Structure 1
Amino acid sequence: MHDDAPSLNGSASVDRRVGAQAPHAGTIAPKRIVFLLYDGFQPLDLAGPWQAFSGANDEGGAGYQLSTVAATPVVGTWDQGLRMQVNATFANDDDAPIDMLFVPGGPGIDQASAHGETLAWLRRRGPQARRTCSVCTGAFLLAAAGLLDGRRVTTHWRSADRLRHLHPGLKVEDDRIYIESGAIWTSAGVNAGIDLALALIERDVGARVSHDVARRLMVFMRRNGDQRQYSQSLRLQNRLAAPLRDLVEKIEASLSARWSVDDMADACHMSRRTFQRKFAAHFGVTPSEVLRRLRFERAAASRASGKLSEKAVRHVMEAGGRPL
């Protein structure tokens, strides 16, 4: 059964309903979070979730206990520009229960995935953890240890094809922020680690603390796991040249404006006929259709972050918006 195991105090897993409030933090046993590090880890994959969990302690008394473990007492980033001493090595690991085990990504992930001592520790400790999580290419190490077999997983979109090739038994979804598959949580690159941590905080101690931490970290908008790794506007801009790229940026900055076809043509300094011809050649749909889809994505993201009601989102959908 791939469901969350009981918490450290022996109670059943918390309510999974969206927005459900966990019990008061004072009734929850401390949760031990261990970050597995290696030479060549990505610092932000560690620092982002770490700061989120630390912020949850400050905002709501979540009781997270954070520590690091590695094969050696000191590990460094790929260029050795940042070095840090870990709390424990595999040799002196005290075998205390782990509530959440985090594996960050980084340029050194391939070497870590072939390191026998690292794999042995992960195979022993990973199944014992209540949750085992990866950020970005950290999924490669979990896969190498056999912890992802047969599961739905995600990673940074640039690395998804390589993960599929190396581990064909995985169900890799490269267009998700994070994915929960029982006790295993995998996430996309860099900032997605913060999104994952916020989701775990909400699961443990409720939406209020998670929202407070997001504001503390100045996260522009909390994203749920179903959201795309990069937005419609970035998808559009990636395949465009000016002035159509500039038009997408202008529309994105003022989605509530009227934006008639003539307005868009004027913004591109083109005649209506030339604009429509070039627009159709690039997008394969009408300008109004692209506008509806951008509005839909904004509405869906606002709903996920609690900034827009279900009624308002339905209004956008009834207007014809749908994802690209």
Structure 2
Amino acid sequence: MNRKRPGTGPLTVTVFVFPGVRLLDVTGPIEVFASANEFGGHYRVRIASADGAEVITSAGTRLSADLRVDDVREPYDVLVVPGGPGWETLIKDDALLGAVRQLNEKARCTASVCTGAFLLAAAGLLDGRRAATHWRQSRQLALRFPSVQVEPDAIFVRDGPMMTSAGVTAGIDLSLALVEDHYGAEVARAVAKDMVVFMQRPGGQSQFSVRSRVPHTRQEMLRRVLDAVTENPEANHTLSAMARRAGVSVRHMTRLFDEEVGTTPARYVEQVRLEAAQVMLETDDDPMSVVARRTGFGSPESLRRAFVRHLGVTPGAFRASFRTTGVGTKGSVSEAVSP
């Protein structure tokens, strides 16, 4: 995309809404663009529905539309296609998919939020392209639309003029990347600070924490052990220490982790500590020695080895990446040249 500088006229963003749309998929991006206007951006946001009538969201909230799809006749800058929990029904709605195609024809860039990727895919707009959606639905997207190359761990993906994002709040990440692309990193950073969100969030779709990814366990004492690691990653969490804490043998603790968590105790502890270090590096400017100590790695060298082994980057490079949304670079944004 070409960088749009302030003072050259507004950029028009059209958000398509429909019955059952998820409210935050709509309001998240709108808030980003509205906030950008306070820091040097110049966006004109409008909401379009198929017939121009209001719609009722999946939350039961009514949303008014500014115009109907047929009223969009001139080329414009960005189309946002939100998702909804009823995506399985929506992708069978020929009229809805026709409206998406019609709006896409006039848009310079089309972006989906969460399960909105299913609408783009069903409309044939993602054929041969890479795409992202909510991590819970990424497998379904790949199975239903084999011509789409799904990137299950991406927060958002850009492939030519098409952008797709992961679950719900990832629409904010995507919108921040658009703001950076249009008006520069400083404006995007100001918006992120104003909204109290990350400029670029950690670890792919590690938008859900290590602890939350662990299947629910019926073993209360194991839950206490897992929670203790999450709450205080710098404490002593050796296998023997965890076994003592739970009142079981080392062998039994190892077996519980294998059966209930699906990994080893040491690997789980390292994943939690790595996540804690990522958060510190994104939000603080503490020296690496402090980050290493507070997250349980002990030394900067141990921290560095863990980052390189799991993420392929050093802690310093990881921290530097959060000074930008990553638009136009490898990482959370994937780019491809359209055929």
TM-score by length of 1: 0.79
Alignment of 1:13-24 (within 5 A): 13-14=2-3
What count of residue pairs does the alignment treat as equivalent?
301
Which residue does the alignment assign to 1:33? 13
Structure 1, 42-51 or 187-196: larger mean CA deviation: 187-196
Alignment of 1:205-216 (within 5 A): 205-216=183-194
Task: Give the CA deviation at 1:55.
Answer: 1.4
Secondary structure, in 3 states, of the residue corresponding to 1:74? coil
Match of 2:242 among 257, 264, 268: 264
1:74 aligns with 2:53: yes
Q: Which amino acid aligns with 1:318?
A: R
Secondary structure, in 3 states, of the residue corresponding to 1:32? strand
Matched residues in 2 for 1:206 and 1:196: separation? Answer: 14
Secondary structure, in 3 states, of the residue corresponding to 2:76? coil
Match of 1:172 among 136, 139, 150: 150
Unaligned 5+ segments in structure 1 are 5-12, 15-22
Structure 1, 276-285 or 146-155: larger mean CA deviation: 276-285
Structure 1, 113-122 or 61-70: larger mean CA deviation: 113-122
Identify if the C-alpha distance between structure 1 residues 274 and 122 changes in structure 2 by more than 3 Å, giving closer, same or farther. Answer: closer
Which residue does the alignment assign to 1:318? 305
Matched residues in 2 for 1:310 and 1:171: separation? Answer: 37
Which residue does the alignment assign to 1:194? 172
Identify if the C-alpha distance between structure 1 residues 238 and 190 changes in structure 2 by more than 3 Å, giving closer, same or farther. Answer: farther
Give the share of equivalent positions with the same residue, in percent: 34
- Is the 2:69–2:103 contact (alpha carbons within 8 Å) kept by the matching residues of 1? no
Which residue does the alignment assign to 1:56? 36
Task: Give the CA deviation at 1:28.
Answer: 5.1
Secondary structure, in 3 states, of the residue corresponding to 2:48? strand
Task: Give the CA deviation at 1:51.
Answer: 1.1
1:47 aligns with 2:24: no
Q: Which amino acid aligns with 2:115?
A: T
Identify if the C-alpha distance between structure 1 residues 79 and 233 changes in structure 2 by more than 3 Å, giving closer, same or farther. Answer: closer
1:65 aligns with 2:44: yes
Unaligned 5+ segments in structure 2 are 293-299, 312-339
Structure 1, 311-320 or 236-245: larger mean CA deviation: 311-320
Matched residues in 2 for 1:308 and 1:207: separation? Answer: 23
TM-score by length of 2: 0.76
Task: Give the CA deviation at 1:262.
Answer: 3.8
Describe the superposition over 1:183-212 as per-residue Cα deviations: whole angstroms up to 9, x where unpaired: 111112211112222222222223333333
Q: Which amino acid aligns with 2:110?
A: T
Matched residues in 2 for 1:258 and 1:28: separation? Answer: 58
Matched residues in 2 for 1:251 and 1:208: separation? Answer: 37
Match of 1:217 among 195, 198, 215: 195
Task: Give the CA deviation at 1:103.
Answer: 0.4
Task: Give the CA deviation at 1:294.
Answer: 2.1
Matched residues in 2 for 1:309 and 1:123: separation? Answer: 50
Which residue does the alignment assign to 2:315? none
- Is the 1:33–1:65 contact (alpha carbons within 8 Å) kept by the matching residues of 2? yes
Describe the superposition over 1:275-319 as per-residue Cα deviations: whole angstroms up to 9, x where unpaired: 344334445654233222222233345545675789979742415
Identify if the C-alpha distance between structure 1 residues 155 and 239 changes in structure 2 by more than 3 Å, giving closer, same or farther. Answer: farther
Secondary structure, in 3 states, of the residue corresponding to 1:34? strand
Matched residues in 2 for 1:97 and 1:35: separation? Answer: 14
Q: Which amino acid aligns with 1:249?
A: D
Structure 1, 229-238 or 138-147: larger mean CA deviation: 229-238
Identify if the C-alpha distance between structure 1 residues 304 and 202 changes in structure 2 by more than 3 Å, giving closer, same or farther. Answer: farther
Task: Give the CA deviation at 1:229.
Answer: 4.4
Secondary structure, in 3 states, of the residue corresponding to 2:208? coil
Secondary structure, in 3 states, of the residue corresponding to 2:167? coil
Secondary structure, in 3 states, of the residue corresponding to 1:157? coil
- Is the 1:102–1:134 contact (alpha carbons within 8 Å) kept by the matching residues of 2? yes
Q: Which amino acid aligns with 1:134?
A: S
